[in-house]
Amino acid sequence: MRDIDHFISGGRVAGASGRFGEVFDPNTGSVQARVQLATEQEVDRAVQAAQSAFATWREVNPQRRARVMFEFKRLVEANMNELAERLSAEHGKVIADSKGDIQRGLEVIEFSCGIPHALKGEYTVGAGPGIDVYSMRVPLGVCAGITPFNFPAMIPMWMFGTAIAAGNTFILKPSERDPSVPVRLAELMMEAGAPEGVLNVVHGDKAAVDAILTHPLIRAVSFVGSSDIAHYVYSTGTAHGKRVQAFGGAKNHGIVLPDADMETTVRDLVGAAYGSAGERCMALPVVVPVGQRTADELRERLVSEIETLKVGHSTDPEAQYGPVVTQQHRDRVVGWIDTAVEEGSELVVDGRNFSLQGSEKGFFIGPTLLDRVKPEMRSYQEEIFGPVLQIVRAADFEEALSLPTKHQYGNGVAIFTRDGRAARDFAARVEVGMVGINVPIPVPVAYHSFGGWKRSGFGDINQHGMEGVRFWTKTKTVTQRFPETALEGGHQDSSFVIPTMR
């Protein structure tokens, strides 16, 4: 059986722990590989490699670091088909979606190619008599990213692209469920010209995570995953003196006003709810129609659209989505559907018994639609993370606005309407980090930033864009004055008063 090794100091390294995780083929349910699970010592080996590389990488000027990112982008694009096939084989998402995963990561790499401009500081001439003040952004040192299974290409590139371009070195701990693509990305980074040790990949479970969070040489950690673990990562990392951003779960809402373009809205909702089998933190698993008439029409149209969906093998070009990542995750999603029914939801479309001919042991779930879901239900309050769409009916605009605002998660939200005033009011008042107006999945472009509120995000700085540059750097401010020379005949007496600019 194939073993998936760590990547340290520019090459693949076999693990020494003797512990392995199983990597499944979600389409068939069979084990296709084993992934090494690191010990604390192996994490330290990667950190030492990164620390050694940092001494020289930080001195490489930003323009030359940008050239590495340009070449990395070219290499990823040249290997797009191979990367997408690897990703789909381990995750289960269809090939087109895997290519989208990679492309959204590359957009942050494109932003990172402009790092010379992003690192420019500020300069004030004549802040005081003969005094100039300027600031500079400097790298932190060894940084780390802990990434989830649902975007094994995009989220790692969101993290290490900006961090490495800014002059840091990096330890990536990807999900052990689909680890092959992160290793391949590290190989391409070396091929692009990054020195050995600049990007390292260490596989593992909680032991590796804890080693990262407590290692004294790691300066900053970025995390994406469930909210409970995000809180643990944030509290543990900050307790050990690290800068931490930790992004958690979501329960994104789509508000549908009576004036919405219903045909377009339904297509958008179905794609956002069921794409990638609902395994997206920016999926749209809750729709809130405003008014009884809107709700009834929306439900009827949703059922008709869902009936056209094709669930299939991840390599099937006609499939809209494939299996979920593991049997354990499939069981969890089915369990939430059972809970919703027990709580009194109306099961309109049931995907629990879906089976794909020829892949009966695959981890498939059919599209599921639940109506008359109430805010007090646990199935509404918690993240399901599967191909399940819940309808929560609202009597009016204010009730619809209150649902995402009061929810424990605050990642993303969307409103569907032709009314510009209503959309503007909603965007201003809703207590959620990312808002879409007639956009079902409002993931910002790479030069803006990504981040949720409440239990969807712990920490003060978001991912990518200038927020990402700020997270992966620290500011140094210099106040300078050059004394008058002897030729100018000047000297200055000592002062024991705090300096001012008067």
User: Residue 489: is its pLDDT beyond 70?
Assistant: no
| CB atoms closer than 10 angstroms to residue 431 | 14
Query: Which residues belong to the active site?
Result: 281
pLDDT single digits (tens) 29-81: 999 999 999 999 999 999 999 999 999 999 999 999 999 999 999 999 999 99
Average pLDDT over residues 281-309: 97
Classify the C-alpha dihedral 323-329-331-336 as positive or negative. Answer: negative
Amino acid at position 433, single letter: G
Q: Which residues contact 319 (CB under 8 A, 6 or more apart)?
A: 94, 310, 311, 312, 313
Confidence check: pLDDT of 490 > 70: no
DSSP annotation of 129 reads T
Supply the pLDDT for residue 28. Answer: 96
Locate 27 and state its tokens. 């389409």
For residue 313, the model assigns a pLDDT of: 97
- In which band, very low, low, confident or very high, does the pLDDT at 483 lie, cut at 50, 70 and 90? confident
The dihedral over CA atoms of 301, 303, 305, 307, expressed in degrees to the nearest 10, equals: -150
- Whether residue 365 is predicted with pLDDT greater than 80 in this model: the reply is yes
Say if CB 339 and CB 370 are below 8 A apart: no
Instruction: Yes or no: say if 89 and 187 are a contact pair by the CB < 8 Å rule.
Output: no
Residue range 432-459, pLDDT digits in tens:
999 999 999 999 999 999 999 999 999 9
pLDDT greater at residue 483 or residue 360:
360
Q: How many angstroms separate the CA atoms of 166 and 472, rounded?
A: 7
What is the pLDDT averaged over residues 314-337?
Answer: 97
Q: Find how far residue 366's CA is from the centre of its chain.
A: 25
For residue range 250-289, list pLDDT tens digits in order.
Answer: 999 999 999 999 999 999 999 999 999 999 999 999 999 9
| pLDDT tens for each residue of 370-386 | 999 999 999 999 999 99
For residue 488, pLDDT over 60 is answered with no
From residue 190, give the alpha-carbon distance in Å to each of 18, 69, 76, 78: 27, 11, 12, 15
State the Rg of the chain over Cα: 25
Q: Quick count: other Cβ atoms within 10 Å of Cβ 491?
A: 8
Tokens of 99: 């290519």
DSSP at 172: E
pLDDT at 407 exceeding the cut of 90: yes
d(CA 464, CA 442): 15
pLDDT (tens digit per residue) in 84-104: 999 999 999 999 999 999 999
From the list 251, 241, 242, the residue with the least C-alpha distance to 221 is 242
pLDDT band at 502 (very low <50, low <70, confident <90, very high): low
Beta-sheet pairing, 388-391 with 368-371:
parallel
Mean confidence (pLDDT) of the chain: 96
> Binning pLDDT at 50, 70 and 90, where does residue 495 land?
low
The CATH-assigned architecture of domain 253-437 is 3-Layer(aba) Sandwich (3.40)
Q: Please name every residue paired with 390 in a beta bridge, in sequence order, or none if there are none.
A: 286, 370
Is residue 327 scored above 70 in pLDDT?
yes
What is the Cα–Cα distance from 202 to 269, expressed in whole angstroms?
Answer: 37
pLDDT at position 492 over 90: no
Across 38-42, 127-131, 186-190, 323-327, least confident range: 127-131
Supply the pLDDT for residue 321.
97
What mean pLDDT is predicted for residues 358-377? 97
What is the CATH T-level fold of the domain 2-248+456-477, as seen in this structure?
Answer: Aldehyde Dehydrogenase; Chain A, domain 1 (3.40.605)
Digit-coded pLDDT (tens) for 157-209? 999 999 999 999 999 999 999 999 999 999 999 999 999 999 999 999 999 99
In 420-472, beta strands by DSSP E: 434-437, 453-454, 457-458
Q: Could you give the 3-state DSSP secondary structure of residue 51?
A: helix
Give pLDDT, residue 493: 63
- Assess contact for 349 and 306: CB atoms under 8 A: yes
Please state the rounded mean pLDDT for residues 392-403: 98
Return the pLDDT at 140: 98
d(C-alpha 221, C-alpha 242), whole Å? 7
- Which pLDDT belongs to residue 1? 80
Other C-beta atoms lying within 10 Å of the C-beta of residue 386: 24
Percent above pLDDT 90 for the chain: 95
Q: Give the DSSP per-residue string, 309-325.
A: --B--TT-TT-SB---S
Q: What is the pLDDT of residue 2?
A: 93
- Please determine, for residue 501, whether its predicted confidence score (pLDDT) is greater than 90: no
Give the start-to-end residue ranges of the domains of the chain.
Answer: 2-248+456-477, 253-437
Least confident of 9-23, 49-63, 488-502: 488-502
